[in-house]
Amino acid sequence: MNDLLLEARGIVKRFGGVLALKDISLTIRVGEIYGLIGPNGAGKTTFFNVLTGLYVANSGSFTFAGAPLEIKAPHEVARAGIARTFQNIRLFANMTALENVMVGRHLRTRAGVVGAVFRDAGTRAEEAAIERRALELLHYVGISDRANDLARHLSYGDQRRLEIARALATEPKLLALDEPAAGMNATETAALRALIEGLRDDGLTILLIEHDVKFVMGLCDRVAVLDYGEKIAEDVPEQVQRNPKVIEAYLGGALA
């Protein structure tokens, strides 16, 4: 049981008449890349939103890192160690790339208004450390040369990387990526894949939503398949690809 990072039990989410998540239970182990796939509208993003506190589940519960995860507000989920990116990139558009990542350090730093105004030695040291760490992270995801550019001026692929860097700045145990490869070309996708593998090798656990089946199957240790809010399979990629229910619901043409 010790190697479990996240356990979801019986998560239900309803939007009026739509049952977006129908009793979802799943477990993510420490250090693995866990894929979440399924057709459009299957409920993948909704699962992320419930997990990160943006939506309130109708029922169900999470255990994270050995303790019940009390989802009261998104910032508390982030504090507990879950960071995410968004399907439709949500950066701080009019802040520089570096500042975007520096905002990600907010959670792990302390300076308040008094420190900001008086700039005592402690605050200055913290500011310097924030900037240094942010720059390291930009370097890590490979966009340190864009540090001073406004986020909205970055290319699509770089914006996705920036969002990952910002998420990493919060020092997560679990990184949840919502379709990070969407809209990327082959080169960018290959680089992203290397980046995610590097993160895993550094000990991070990754929850990955992705439509690109080849990308998911090649990268993930285990994969869960959602269909109409129901989990229809959860296994290693080879098994999932052979699962008749999955082929019928989703893979069909993709693997034929």
Ligand X SMILES: Nc1ncnc2c1ncn2[C@@H]1O[C@H](COP(=O)(O)OP(=O)(O)OP(=O)(O)O)[C@@H](O)[C@H]1O
- Which option in ligand X, another protein, Mg ion, none does residue 75 bind, with CB closer than 5 to 8 A by kind? another protein
State how far the Cα of 61 lies from the Cα of 167, in Å rounded to an integer.
23
Cβ neighbour number for residue 203 with a 10 Å cutoff: 9
The piece of 1-9, 18-26, 162-170, 195-203 that touches another protein (CB under 8 A) is: 162-170
8 Å CB contact between 175 and 204: yes
Between 8 and 27, how does the x/- string for binding to ligand X read (CB under 6 A)? -------x--x-x-------
Q: Please report, as residue ranges, which positions from 59 to 118 form the binding site for Mg ion (by CB under 5 A).
A: 87
Residue 232 lies near ligand X (rule: CB under 6 A):
no
8 Å CB contact between 174 and 31: no
Using DSSP's 3-state secondary structure scheme, residue 227 falls into strand
C-beta of 154 vs 240, nearer to another protein: 154
- Which option in ligand X, another protein, Mg ion, none does residue 144 bind, with CB closer than 5 to 8 A by kind? another protein
Q: Which helix (H) or strand (E) holds 84?
A: strand 82-84
Residue 124 lies near another protein (rule: CB under 8 A):
no
Selected binder of ligand X within 40, 88, 148, 187 (CB under 6 A): 40
Residue 45 lies near ligand X (rule: CB under 6 A):
yes
- The number of angstroms, rounded, from the C-alpha of 214 to the middle of its chain's C-alpha atoms is 19
Could you tell me how many residues of this chain bind ligand X (CB under 6 A)?
12
State how far the Cα of 62 lies from the Cα of 48, in Å rounded to an integer.
12
Sheet holding 174-178, edge to edge: 82-84, 174-178, 205-209, 33-37, 222-227, 230-235
**Bridge-partner residues for 14, per DSSP?**
19
Task: Assign 3-class secondary structure to 191-206.
Answer: HHHHHHHHHHHCCCEE
Give contact residues for ligand X (rule: CB under 6 A).
Answer: 15, 18, 20, 38, 40-46, 87
Give contact residues for Mg ion (rule: CB under 5 A).
Answer: 45, 87
Give contact residues for another protein (rule: CB under 8 A).
Answer: 52-54, 73-75, 78-79, 83-84, 86, 90-96, 98-99, 102-107, 109-113, 115-117, 119, 123, 126-127, 130-131, 135-136, 139, 144-145, 147-150, 166-167, 169-170
